[in-house]
Amino acid sequence: MTTMPASADTHTYPYYPGCSADGVGRGFAGSLHAVFERLGFPLVDLVDWNCCGATAWPSVDDSQALALGARNLALAERARPGSEPVDLVASCAGCYRALLRSAEALARGPTRSRLAGALEAVGLAVEGRARPRHPVDVLVNDVGLDRIRAAVVRPLTGVRVVSYYGCQLVRPLSTFDDEHDPVSMDRLVEAIGAEPVDWPLKTRCCGGSCYCGGPVIGAMPEATMQLSYLLLREASRRGADVIATVCPLCQFNLEGFQDQMARRFGHPLDVPVAFLTQLIGIALGIDDRRLGLHRLLRWRPLPIRTVEPEAAGHARR
Amino acid sequence: MAVGASVAEGLPSATEGRGGSWPGVSVAPTFVDELILEVGEEAGRLLGCLQCGTCSSACPLAAYMDLTPRRLIGLVRAGAREAVLGSRAPWVCASCYACTMVCPKRIPITEIMHGLRRISMRERTFPRRFPTPVMSREFVSMVARNGRSTESLISLKLYLKTDPLLLVRNARTALRLLRQGRLKLRPARIRGRRELRTLLDAATG
């Protein structure tokens, strides 16, 4: 089981936004901050963090790729002196994977000394206290579903949510959920009163992977569109009102090219794709702008079913 | 780009893989050792590959590869160094780790794909005019300079260097992103750029 955040008095987490947080993933970082703050676990941005290297850097030089993550882990430890573990929250699945790889390399003999030496050259060190955590993991296992349920002021009753976990959230080094059939997101969807829709493509690659949607659409338009289309079609077929994502690249990849896919495959597509934290934020009564709903390219108000007052208490369960 | 065309183009002919003889294929028996050095001890598990093809069936992009993951691993073990390093399969890989998760022999296939990318990048055998090697290089040089990546500028460079027509094709999506405040045009930079440079140099050194 996971432990509570490092400094127990404040319950804050150091946060690694990743490069997309300022670009296509803007609605994610904003809603994440708002939701964690409302739940009493504010996120504090890591100072002067650097890019994780994605999968582009391991394609060129792996020692350097691991060093990039090591610097971020070292910065997180420096920001939280002491002997407690430091949970570094990383919201992009690609960053999360890259940081986990660095943490693993720092824990193992062959790569450890080289990385430690590189860090030492710039006056940094890693004791091994820093642990990359994904916000879905933190919400389910640290914050807890009970606390989230109790904070819901506007349950998303009747809203059918398909959770798309994406490929790199639950593998290869991530351990908080099952790598083939994860459930954490669905449990969160349930906690905010919505209806989780089961489907077989939870972790099937969307084609965006570690390159942002633009470049992959650019690199292999046919392949990317096929992969995304498969997901969007299945979600529509199962009557999803919205697809929930937790990675800026998946979100953009699924949201941004639906018209092109509809033309290409001759089948209309119109499925809103939001960040799960935006849906949680709506249920917690957080302002739409703060959640960045206006930044989505394909958004419409959720079909929240109004319930009779006596039934409302039941729906909150 | 039609699916069929993309698969057929540049494929080391299928008969080459099935037949007993390997015309024009040079064999390097030490290729597996080289890969172990590049990727780590775990890569050696490929010697126990069953050629079951579970990796290829799990791979969402196998249809777009000139060599499927199963064939690629088989060719590595056979020492067909040139065929493997000239393949674009590692550059088509989306790093989704589906193959790695299902492999009954726990072969770290995705990591091997990355290792093959590195060797082909060093030896400049990577497929010409294929976008992902260009993308990786542009990404690395931008982050080495600024400490962060800026999506818009990387896409722009990639389009200019591979297929400028894509600029037109993706212009509408880009404009919509810009309007929603999701496309930054100014390069993001960290303060510790010099520190990062030193760190990267020390890491390879």
Chain A environment of B115 (Cβ under 8 Å): 62
Taken as a whole, chain B contains a residue count of 205
Contacts of A123 (CB under 8 A, 6+ apart): none
Residue range A13-133, CATH number? 1.20.1050.140
- CATH 1.20.1050.140-classified regions of chain A: 13-133
Task: Read off the pLDDT band of B23 (50, 70, 90).
Answer: low
Residue A186, both tokens: 């669905």
What is the distance in angstroms between the Cα of A161 and the nearest Cα belonging to chain B? Answer: 23
Q: Say how many C-beta atoms besides its own lie within 10 A of residue A263's C-beta.
A: 11
pLDDT value at residue A310: 60
- Side-by-side strand order, sheet with A242-245: A195-197, A160-164, A242-245, A273-275
Q: Which domains does chain B have, with CATH numbers?
A: 24-122 (1.10.1060.10), 131-204 (no CATH)
Whether the CA torsion B102, B105, B106, B109 is positive or negative: it is: negative
Region class of B13: left (phi > 0), else alpha (psi between -120 and 50), else beta: beta
Q: Is the pLDDT of residue B26 over 90?
A: no
List the single range of A233-247, A253-267, B1-15, B40-54 with lowest mean pLDDT.
Answer: B1-15
Q: Is the pLDDT of residue B17 over 50?
A: no
- Interchain proximity A222–B173, CB inside 8 Å: no
Whether the CA torsion B105, B110, B115, B121 is positive or negative: it is: positive
Region class of B79: left (phi > 0), else alpha (psi between -120 and 50), else beta: left
pLDDT value at residue A213: 38
What's the half-sphere exposure (Cβ side, CA atoms, 13 Å) at A294?
A: 8
- CATH 3.40.50.11810-classified regions of chain A: 153-316
Arithmetic mean of pLDDT, B65-81: 96
| Nearest residue in A to B5, CA atom | A222
pLDDT value at residue A218: 52
**Contact (Cβ atoms closer than 8 angstroms) between residue A38 and residue A151:** yes
**Partner residue facing A218 (CB), from B131, B148, B182:** B131
**Partner residue facing A71 (CB), from B158, B177, B199:** B199
What is the distance in angstroms between the Cα of B148 and the nearest Cα belonging to chain A? Answer: 5
Arithmetic mean of pLDDT, B117-136: 89
Question: What are A245's strand-pairing partners?
Answer: A164, A275
pLDDT: which is higher, B4 or A190: A190
Write out the CATH class of domain A153-316.
Answer: alpha beta
Chain A environment of B117 (Cβ under 8 Å): 58-60
Task: Give CA separation, A95 vs A141, B93, B134, B178, B203, in Å.
Answer: 20, 18, 21, 24, 19
Q: Is the pLDDT of residue B110 over 60?
A: yes
pLDDT (tens digit, 9 = 90+) per residue, B137-187? 889 999 999 999 988 888 787 777 777 777 777 787 788 888 888 888 888
The per-residue pLDDT of chain B, averaged, comes to 85
Residue B31, both tokens: 């290729």
A72: closest CA among A137, A20, A15?
Answer: A15
pLDDT in tens, chain A (317 residues): 444 444 445 589 999 999 988 888 889 999 999 999 999 999 999 999 999 998 899 999 999 999 999 999 999 999 999 999 999 999 999 999 999 999 999 998 788 999 999 999 999 999 999 999 999 999 999 999 999 999 999 999 999 999 999 999 999 999 999 998 999 999 999 999 999 999 999 999 988 753 443 444 455 677 888 899 999 999 999 999 999 999 998 998 899 889 888 998 999 999 999 999 999 999 999 999 999 999 999 999 999 998 765 655 555 44
Q: How far apart are CA A293 and CA A34, in angstroms?
A: 13
**Partner residue facing B180 (CB), from A51, A54, A295:** A295
Chain B environment of A20 (Cβ under 8 Å): 151
- 3-state SS, A237-283, equals HCCCCEEEECCHHHHHHHHCCHHHHHHHHCCCCCCCEEEHHHHHHHH
- Interchain proximity A217–B118, CB inside 8 Å: no
Residue A139, both tokens: 């919400």
